[in-house]
Amino acid sequence: QVQLQESGPGVVKPSQTLSLTCTVSGGSINSGYPYWSWIRHRPGEGLEWIGYIYYSGATHYNPTLRGRVLISLDTSKNQFSLNLGSVSAADTAIYYCARSKDALNPTIFDPWGQGTMVSVSS
């Protein structure tokens, strides 16, 4: 059974880059489930999809964050990563990584990691 686990710093300073990693266990990131996403939950707000990476390395980002987001893949470590630049307090959130349920639809998410809280504060 595939499991995902987010890791990274809990606090990031304003204007810096937020960097998180999602480690996949119980299955290969190169398997038949090719889409790997980042999603966040800001306090008092709903969930927000950030973007996904295809197993080939192709990416697709939410237009509201495009220009600040970079998602990358490291198949040798069975990991994928999120970099979000020029952060502000509005980027404080629980960040989740998730896999697509199957190869047919990239944005039905299953399973998810349990999330990691990131605060943007000086």
Partner 1 sequence: DIQMTQSPSSLSAFVGDRVIITCQASQDITNSLSWYQEKPGKAPKLLIYDSSTLHSGVPSRFSGRGSGTEFTFTISSLQPDDVGTYYCQQYENVPTFGGGTKVQ
Which residues are near partner 1 by CB under 8 A? 4, 41, 46-49, 62-64, 96, 98, 101, 105, 107-115
Q: What are the CA-CA distances from residue 20 to residues 102, 104, 105 (Å)?
A: 24, 26, 24
Rounded Cα–Cα distance for residues 84 and 91 (Å) = 9
Nearest distance, CB of residue 30 and partner 1, angstroms: 22
Nearest distance, CB of residue 14 and partner 1, angstroms: 26
Which of 10/46 has CB closer to partner 1?
A: 46
Nearest distance, CB of residue 13 and partner 1, angstroms: 26
The alpha-helical segments, DSSP class H, found in 1-122 are: none
Nearest distance, CB of residue 77 and partner 1, angstroms: 21
Which of 15/107 has CB closer to partner 1?
A: 107
Rounded Cα–Cα distance for residues 19 and 16 (Å) = 10
Which of 70/94 has CB closer to partner 1?
A: 94
How does strand 69-74 pair with strand 93-100? Answer: unpaired
Which of 29/40 has CB closer to partner 1?
A: 40
